[in-house]
Amino acid sequence: MPGTESLRDGDEHSPARLAVRVPIHIRLYQPKDLEFVRTLFVAINRQLAPSHMRTQFDVYVRQALRDEIDRIPDYYAARAGSFWIAELGDGSRGVGMYGLEAYDDSSLEIRRMYVDPAFRRQGIARRLLAHAEQIGRAAQYHRLILSTSEIQKAAFALYQNVGFSLTSTETADAMSLKAVGGGLRRYHMEKLLR
């Protein structure tokens, strides 16, 4: 299956150009991963929550757990998608994750991309993005899209650094599975797959 093999460092513009200090393996989600995914999702969202929005983030997390995270196989299958786990090379633990879902006939959307804070700054997010590109190309999609919020400054910078372009900005007032709401600014980005 595409994406389960190791990626090699590419040219200087490749998302995989940063040497990975920790060997990882990216594989499809399995039911045994649920606790890891839940724990990482909750921890990251608690870390991101501004103090004045903690209650709103808690509601968002509960909704996302109920409607998406706790039913990953069904949720992503219904959207012609997949969910991926980055684990240490020896398989001893998960260190990151992301989902892909079809946005339209030519676009895949990257969702729920998180890296365990203990393993950040080691190229794992770049590897996940390179993996998403590989999956998109293999399935003959023409672009990847994603969104992030104003409170995820490092993620926004990373996406720009690996070639994503800003396509639009919105203020998310209403809560959804893709946004906390509460007036946070959201950035929508894309990367063409050539």
Segment 136-162, tens digit of pLDDT: 999 999 999 999 988 889 999 999 999
pLDDT of residue 1: 33
Q: What residues contact 68, with CB distance under 8 A and at least 6 apart?
A: 75, 112, 177
Question: Is-contact 117 155, C-beta < 8 A?
Answer: no
Give the whole-angstrom CA distance, residue 92 versus residue 70: 22
Q: Grade residue 22 by pLDDT with cuts at 50, 70 and 90.
A: confident
Candidates 1.10.3720.10, 3.40.630.30, 3.40.190.10, 2.40.50.100; correct CATH number of 24-145? Answer: 3.40.630.30
pLDDT of residue 12: 40
- The secondary structure of residue 122, as a DSSP letter, is S
Identity of the highest mean pLDDT range in 10-24, 41-55, 75-89: 75-89
Quickly count: other Cβ atoms within 10 Å of residue 184's Cβ.
19
pLDDT of residue 180: 64
pLDDT of residue 77: 96
Q: Grade residue 118 by pLDDT with cuts at 50, 70 and 90.
A: very high
Q: Grade residue 71 by pLDDT with cuts at 50, 70 and 90.
A: very high
Mean pLDDT of 8-35: 70
